[in-house]
Amino acid sequence: MVDSPRSQRWAQWAGHALIIGAALLVLSPFLVAVGWAAILAFATWPVFGRVRRQLGGRIRLAALAMIVLVVLVILVPATLLSLALAGEIRRTFAELKESAPALPSVVVAFLREIPWAGPRLAERVAGTFASPGAVERWVLDNAGRWPAAIASAAGNVGRNALEGVLALVTLFFLYLHGDALARQIQRALSRAGGERMTATFRPLAEAVRAVMYGTLLTALTQGILAMTGYWAAGLRSPVLLGALSALLALTPLGAAPVYVPAGVWLLIEGRLLPGVLLLGWGVLVVSVTDNVIRSWFLAGALQLPFLLGFFGVLGGVLAFGPIGLFVGPIVVAMLLTLWHEWTAEP
C-alpha cells in the first residue's frame, strides 16, 4: 500500500515535534543561561561591532574583549551590590526585632505632633497596640521568613556561579557566530510563516535594547543616584533604600516615594541641612535622570507605554524569575507590535 502525501506529512510533523521536544528536554537545564546570553548579545551588539572595527575585524579577540567588558561593567558590580544588599536586609530586620517593643510609643508620639487628624490617629494606633507584646510578637512571627529568603536570594552568589559561567561561554560563541545565526533565524522564520512573521520579529533586537537601556538602565541609574544621596545624608541602609528606589523607578511613581519620606524623616529629626539636600538631590537629579536617559537611549526606538512596561516587568518576574525583568517587557513589546500590525489602517 502506498502512503498518501497527507499521512507522510503528518509523520514528518510528528518526527519534527519529537526531535524538538527531546532537544528541549536535554537543553532545559541551560535555557536560563542561554536566555541571559541572548539578551546580553542583543543589548551589546552595537558595542561589539565598534570593538570589532577597532580591532581590525579580529572577531575572536573582539569577542574576548567584550566578555571581559561584560564581567567588569555588569557582573562584578551586580555581585558586590547583591552582597551589600543581603547584609543590609539582615541588619535592618535584626534592628527591627530589637526595637519592636518601643515601636508603638514612637509611632503614637509622632502621630500626636501632626495637626488636626494626628491626635485621633494616635488614639486609634494606641488602642490597636494596647497589648504590650503585640507588635513584638507580630514582628517576630512575620519578619523572620521572607526577609531571610530575600537575603538568601540576594547573597547566594555561589549557587548561580555555574549558570553565570555558562552564560558567558554562550555569549562568547554568540559574538563569534551571531551574524550567521541571525541570517539562519530569518530564513527559518520566512519559511515557517512567510514575510509577515519575519516582519513581526524584526523589531526584537530593538525591543531588547529599549527594555535594557530605556527601562532597566533608567531604574538602575536612579537607584544608584538615590543610594548615593542616602549615604551622603547619613541614613542607615543606603543600599536597601537604593534598591527600593530602583524598584519603584520601574513604575510610573518613580523613586519619589522613597527619597521624599527619607528627606522628611531627616527634617523631623532636626537634621535640616541633610534633609533639604536629600530632597533637592531627589527632585533635581534622581527624578530628572528618567527623562534624560530615556531621551538619550530611546530616540527612535520602540517605546512601551508606562503601564504595559510595569506589567511586563512584574509579570515577567513572577513568571520567569529574575530573567523575567527582561523577558516580560520584551514579550509585551512584541505583543504591542502585533497589535499595531493587526489594527493598522489597510
Let me know if residue 59 belongs to a domain. no
C-alpha closest to that of 297 among 209, 205, 203, 207:
209
How many domains is the chain partitioned into structurally? 1
Confidence of residue 170 (pLDDT cuts 50, 70, 90): very high
pTM over 0.75: no
Mean pLDDT of 126-145: 54
* Residue range 178-217, pLDDT digits in tens: 888 888 887 887 777 666 666 667 666 666 667 777 777 7
Residue 182, in any domain of the structure? no
Task: Note whether residue 144 is domain-resident.
Answer: no
Judge whether 60 lies within some domain. no
Do the domain assignments include residue 300?
yes
**pLDDT at residue 52, as a whole number:** 92
pLDDT tens for 236-251 read: 778 888 888 887 887 6
Using pLDDT thresholds of 50, 70 and 90, give the confidence band for residue 146: very low
Per the domain annotation, does 70 fall within a domain?
no
Instruction: Identify the pLDDT of residue 175.
Output: 93
Mean pLDDT estimate for the chain: 76
Highest average pLDDT, of 169-183, 208-222, 252-266, 301-315, comes from 169-183
- pLDDT at residue 151 tops 60: no
State the pLDDT at residue 297. Answer: 59
> What is the span of the domain harbouring residue 270?
203-346
pLDDT band at 1 (very low <50, low <70, confident <90, very high): very low
Residue 84, domain member (yes or no): no
The pLDDT of residue 48 is 93
User: Each residue of 44-56: pLDDT tens digit?
Assistant: 888 999 999 999 8
Q: On the CB side of 188, how many CA atoms lie within 13 Å of its CA?
A: 7
Higher pLDDT, 58 or 208: 58
Does residue 209 lie within any of the structural domains?
Answer: yes
Q: Per residue in 59-102, pLDDT tens?
A: 999 999 999 998 988 777 777 777 776 776 676 666 656 655 55
